[in-house]
């Protein structure tokens, strides 16, 4: 068994490396059967809960991408041994409260999920830890997690909203009842993870449902989790404190947020027919596929079944004529990472697409609202931002051309490369380096289906 590359304090390899531009060209129909790599959200959670469990956890299908590896290294730095065993990973958990002292700085690279979820874990340990990340992560707001965690007892040095941050947890965390001011699965998860250490019950109330992988996986590892839908439609998630988790066998399904790019490629290359196997189809993640169906896309779900507590199935996509639609704000959480790709698809549709209530897009790896609109305009598409809404006027075809600035954002890079596969003129992006954070096999996988890059 090989151990995951040992944890290194504060290196910033992404910034140090040279930008790698790439061009996508109009492609012939793409076809074939593929699998996308494991879901990023579930992969982070599997490593964290495995480290907090007692005994050994085996994780199959873990996403081997930079974002997830920072979580693996952080858990390793805290004493949970993470090793590869054939195609799977094994984690030797230390129990909730059993993690060791972290030496030096924990570097979370580009990953908002890793840093925010780990803050929830660290809240329960009386040790002083410095958290940092790359230039993109160091611009992203942390007060959304720090505020509830401080209520529970986490001490935060300085009055700061961004990394680098120094924090000190405590063994005497207080359980809280916290209503999320923004719909964020990361904030919900950080509080529930901290709640594992607190005596009594910790409750998070969310105004709109966000991805529920933490709740599902906590149960899977044996924690006591109660989910109530309240009279006003909000949901309350309660975790029992002083929890004991037991090592488990986790199977990570394919990431629907990565599948979204393949679905889009099939839709924009006429004559395409693609099957994507083993995709996570949790209803808190399927807003993109539902919206595409509203737009007239031919997407079929095959063989829906449950695997390790999550719904999974195959997706069959055939290229289709799309029409513009209104995407209501209530749908935002269930497709928050897919808006750049949806906006690009809206440019290939006939008519206007209005995507409403996208304030959260402004605080992702880049300001995705602005970056998406700018990239579309650079490709000859009529697109504008009105407040928190994005409006795209589709004409059925996209001119393309131009170079899109990815702004250290993997999803902006993949969105505009995918758009280029169906555009009249080639589309270049300034740097594909960040794609490794979530979907390292994006280019080879699409090339294997017939897509043209370079
Ligand atoms: C994630 C939650 C979402 C999403 C991110 C992954 C998670 O962020 O954008 O890519 O795994 O919990 P928010 O919780 O900030 O909406």
pLDDT per position as a tens digit, 59-77: 999 999 999 999 999 999 9
Q: Tell me the best of 121, 145, 211 to mutate to test the pocket of ligand 1, counting ligand atoms within 8 Å of each CB and taking the most.
A: 211
CA–centroid distance, residue 215 to ligand 1 (Å): 14
pLDDT for position 14: 45
Ligand 1 contact via 184 beta carbon (within 6 Å): yes
| Closest alpha carbon to 391 in 357, 424, 417 | 357
Beta carbons within 8 Å of 327's beta carbon, 6+ residues apart: 291, 342, 353, 354, 355, 356
Q: Tell me the best of 185, 334, 414 to mutate to test the pocket of ligand 1, counting ligand atoms within 8 Å of each CB and taking the most.
A: 185
3-state secondary structure labels for all residues of 399-447: CECCEECCCCCHHHHHHHHHHHHHCCECEEECCCHHHHHCCCCHHHHHH
pLDDT for position 104: 76
Q: Tell me the best of 139, 336, 360, 409 to mutate to test the pocket of ligand 1, counting ligand atoms within 8 Å of each CB and taking the most.
A: 336
Environment class of 46 (CB within 10 Å of its CB; exposed 0-12, middle 13-18, buried 19+): buried
b/e per residue 3-36 (b: at least 16 CB within 10 A): ebeebeeeeeebeeeeeeebebebbeebeeebbb
CA–centroid distance, residue 184 to ligand 1 (Å): 6
Ligand 1 contact via 335 beta carbon (within 6 Å): no
Q: How confident is the model at residue 180 (pLDDT cuts 50, 70, 90)?
A: very high
CA angle in degrees (0–180, nearest 5) for 37-42-44: 100
pLDDT for position 7: 34
- Closest residue by Cα to atom 13, ligand 1, is 184
CA–centroid distance, residue 52 to ligand 1 (Å): 21
Q: What is the pLDDT of residues 194-212, one digit of tens each?
A: 999 999 999 999 999 999 9
User: Quick one: how many helices (H) and strands (E) in the chain?
Assistant: 13, 26
Mean pLDDT of all residues in the chain? Answer: 95
Are the C-beta atoms of 243 and 224 separated by less than 8 Å?
yes
Q: Average pLDDT of 285-314?
A: 97
* Ligand 1 atom closest to residue 360's alpha carbon, by position in its atom list: 16
Q: How confident is the model at residue 92 (pLDDT cuts 50, 70, 90)?
A: very high
pLDDT for position 233: 86
Are the C-beta atoms of 442 and 413 separated by less than 8 Å?
no
CA angle in degrees (0–180, nearest 5) for 346-36-281: 70
Are the C-beta atoms of 173 and 97 separated by less than 8 Å?
no
Ligand 1 contact via 107 beta carbon (within 6 Å): no
CA–centroid distance, residue 279 to ligand 1 (Å): 18
Which pTM value belongs to this model? 0.96
Ligand 1 contact via 308 beta carbon (within 6 Å): no
In a 13 Å sphere around the CA of 415, the CA atoms on its Cβ side amount to 29
Ligand 1 contact via 115 beta carbon (within 6 Å): no
pLDDT for position 103: 65
Q: What is the residue-wise DSSP string for 75-87?
A: HHHTT-EEEEETT
| Closest alpha carbon to 216 in 294, 129, 312, 83 | 312
Q: Average pLDDT of 380-387?
A: 98
* Ligand 1 atom closest to residue 364's alpha carbon, by position in its atom list: 9
Ligand 1 contact via 189 beta carbon (within 6 Å): yes
Q: How confident is the model at residue 6 (pLDDT cuts 50, 70, 90)?
A: very low
Residues above pLDDT 90, as percent of the chain: 93
Are the C-beta atoms of 174 and 129 separated by less than 8 Å?
no
Residue 11 confidence (pLDDT) above 60: no
Q: How confident is the model at residue 285 (pLDDT cuts 50, 70, 90)?
A: very high
Q: Which structure tokens are listed for 371?
A: 């970056």
| CA dihedral angle for residue 92, residue 256, residue 141, residue 73, rounded to 10 degrees | 20
pLDDT for position 402: 86
Are the C-beta atoms of 274 and 31 separated by less than 8 Å?
yes
| Closest alpha carbon to 365 in 121, 133, 111 | 111
Ligand 1 contact via 185 beta carbon (within 6 Å): yes
| CA dihedral angle for residue 69, residue 72, residue 73, residue 74, rounded to 10 degrees | 120
Ligand 1 contact via 111 beta carbon (within 6 Å): no
Residues with a catalytic annotation lie at 337
Q: What is the pLDDT of residues 389-414, one digit of tens each?
A: 999 999 999 999 989 999 999 999 99
Q: Which structure tokens are listed for 200?
A: 């009594």
Ligand 1 contact via 113 beta carbon (within 6 Å): yes
Q: How confident is the model at residue 4 (pLDDT cuts 50, 70, 90)?
A: low
- Closest residue by Cα to atom 5, ligand 1, is 113
Q: Tell me the best of 110, 111, 112 to mutate to test the pocket of ligand 1, counting ligand atoms within 8 Å of each CB and taking the most.
A: 112
């Amino acid at each position: 068994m090989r151990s995951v590359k040992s944890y290194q304090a504060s290196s910033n390899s992404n910034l140090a490396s040279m930008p790698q531009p790439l061009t996508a060209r109009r492609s012939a129909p793409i076809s074939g059967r593929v699998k996308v790599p494991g879901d990023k959200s579930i992969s982070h959670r599997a490593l964290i809960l495995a480290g907090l469990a007692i005994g050994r956890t085996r994780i199959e299908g873990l996403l081997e991408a930079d974002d997830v590896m920072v979580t693996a290294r952080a858990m390793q730095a805290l004493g949970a041994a993470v090793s590869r065993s054939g195609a799977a990973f094994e984690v030797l958990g230390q129990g909730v409260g059993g993690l060791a002292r972290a030496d030096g700085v924990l570097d979370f690279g580009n990953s908002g999920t890793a840093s925010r979820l780990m803050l929830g874990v660290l809240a329960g340990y009386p040790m002083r830890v410095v958290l940092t990340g790359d230039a993109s992560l160091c611009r992203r707001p942390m007060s959304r997690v720090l505020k509830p965690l401080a209520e529970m007892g986490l001490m935060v040095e300085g009055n700061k909203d961004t990394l680098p941050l120094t924090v000190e947890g405590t063994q005497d965390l207080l359980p809280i009842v916290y209503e999320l001011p923004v719909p964020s699965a990361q904030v919900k998860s950080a509080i529930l993870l901290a709640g594992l250490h607190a005596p009594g019950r910790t409750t998070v109330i969310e105004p709109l449902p966000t991805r529920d992988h933490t709740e599902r996986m906590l149960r899977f590892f044996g924690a006591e989790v109660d989910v109530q839908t309240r009279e006003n439609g909000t949901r309350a998630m309660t975790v029992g404190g002083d929890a004991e988790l037991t090592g488990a066998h986790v199977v990570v399904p394919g990431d629907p947020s990565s599948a979204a790019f393949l679905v889009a490629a099939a839709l924009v290359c006429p004559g395409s027919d693609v099957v994507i196997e083993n995709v996570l189809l949790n209803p808190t993640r399927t807003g993109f596929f539902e919206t595409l169906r509203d737009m007239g896309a031919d997407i079929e779900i095959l063989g829906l079944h449950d695997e390790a507590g999550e719904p999974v199935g195959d997706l069959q996509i055939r290229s289709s004529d799309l029409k513009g639609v209104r995407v209501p704000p209530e749908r935002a959480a269930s497709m928050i990472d897919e808006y750049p790709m949806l906006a690009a698809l809206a440019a290939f549709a006939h008519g206007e697409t209005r995507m409403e209530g996208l304030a959260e897009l402004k605080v992702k790896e880049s300001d995705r609202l602005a970056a998406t609109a700018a990239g579309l305009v650079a490709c000859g598409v009529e697109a504008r931002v009105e407040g928190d809404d994005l409006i795209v006027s589709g004409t059925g075809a996209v001119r393309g051309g131009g170079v899109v600035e990815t702004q250290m954002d993997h999803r902006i890079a993949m969105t505009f490369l995918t758009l280029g596969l169906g555009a009249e003129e080639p589309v270049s992006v300034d740097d594909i380096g960040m794609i490794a954070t979530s979907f390292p096999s994006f280019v080879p996988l699409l090339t294997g289906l017939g897509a043209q890059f370079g």
